[in-house]
Amino acid sequence: MMNRQTDVPEEIYNDGIVNFLADRYRTTSREILQRFLEQNDSVPEMESGTFRLEENEMAILRDMMARYHR
């Protein structure tokens, strides 16, 4: 089942967890959320060979997105 929820509230880009992940992967918060959407089957994957978020990171981001979309 594909999750088509791709609207990301602007405030998530400034969230401490997203910024922590961006630092960890040496990328931007926008790239973290793009990779999340790709791995979550919300959008087609754009690049191969880039970093992959771990399942626990995906779970954290899924919970975060759910809180913002209530």
Confidence band for 3, pLDDT divided at 50, 70 and 90: very low
Question: Is the confidence at residue 5, as pLDDT, over 60?
Answer: no
pLDDT digits (tens, 9 = 90+) for 50-69: 799 999 999 999 999 888 87
* CB-based contacts of 22, cutoff 8 Å, min separation 6: 28, 29, 31, 32
Q: Would you state the pLDDT for residue 30?
A: 94
pLDDT digits (tens, 9 = 90+) for 21-52: 999 999 999 999 999 999 988 777 776 657 99
> Token pair for residue 38?
């790709």
Residue 59 has phi, psi (to 5 degrees) of -65, -40
Q: Given phi > 0 = left and psi -120 to 50 = alpha, else beta, which region is 47?
A: beta
